[in-house]
Amino acid sequence: MATSTKTSKARTPQKRTPQPRPDSEQTRERILDSAEKLFARHGFHGTSIRDIATDADYQFALVGYHFGSKLELMDRVLGRRSEVLNAERLAFLEQARADNKGAAIPVRTLVEGYVGTIVARASRNDAGWRNYTQLVGSAGGSAEWTELTDRHFNAVAREYLGELQRSLPTVPSEALHQAFFFAVGAMVTACARPGRIETLSRGKFKSKDLSTMYENLCTFLEGGFKAVASRQPKSPASRQP
């Protein structure tokens, strides 16, 4: 009696990407990268914890294990890169103070110090920093994130505002705060590169190379501050009722 035998082909073992330990710093950074990207693209409310876990290729519960609620995760996403920017901006400011030996720092120098730090990061074609500037742009324009914006950015911004006030002593404080607010909006929009230059120019001009926009951006902002400084306030008698 013939006996039939089945031959099985040896399966080639599939290569698996090594996964970081669930409690490792690499795991936390990967989750933060995914959250940063999705928050920037779809907004805080348009992104779920499950979306972030799927993008990072981790279990849903692991995101909560490391960061707690989605709001706490947003806080950490904003704080991670703001720590880098704040340190660099303060270091620049301290050097400028030392270089000017107690005298008022030129407005152009202050603009370059505050704007140049984030432009330098965003111009390196780093997707993480592009995502971050898009997220900061949307968060900075929403009253919902006022507390987080204050926590992560305003302390250093006030240092620059103080120096701008010394450099432009005749500008009313309210007007200077408004000018700084306008400057931050222009800076973040340029760094996020939303493609508006491309659409406005019908593709003739590009916003991809931030280094080519940096000089014009600083000149624009410097001129804005100085224009506010040169504006003569209306006397009470000349104001409309």
Is 23 or 65 the better-scoring residue by pLDDT?
A: 65
**Residue-level pLDDT at 132:** 92
**What domains sit in the chain, N to C, each tagged with a CATH number?**
24-68 (1.10.10.60), 78-230 (1.10.357.10)
Give pLDDT, residue 101.
96
SS3 46: coil
Average pLDDT over residues 150-165: 97
For residue 94, pLDDT over 60 is answered with yes
- In this predicted model, what pLDDT tens digit does every residue of 161-171 receive, in sequence order? 999 999 999 99
Mean pLDDT of 23-51: 94
d(Cα 21, Cα 119) in Å, to the nearest integer? 34
User: pLDDT tens, 187-208?
Assistant: 888 877 768 888 989 988 887 7
The pLDDT of 136-158, averaged and rounded, is 91
Mean of pLDDT over the chain: 86
CA–CA gap between residue 170 and residue 84 (Å, rounded): 33
The two structure tokens encoding residue 135: 């997220």
**Residue 123 contacts residue 211 (beta carbons within 8 Å):** yes
* Structure confidence at residue 14 (pLDDT): 52
Listing DSSP states for 155-215 in one string gives HHHHHHHHHHHHHSTTS-HHHHHHHHHHHHHHHHHHHH--SHHHHHTTTSS--S-HHHHHH
Sorting pLDDT into bands at 50, 70 and 90, what band is 10? very low
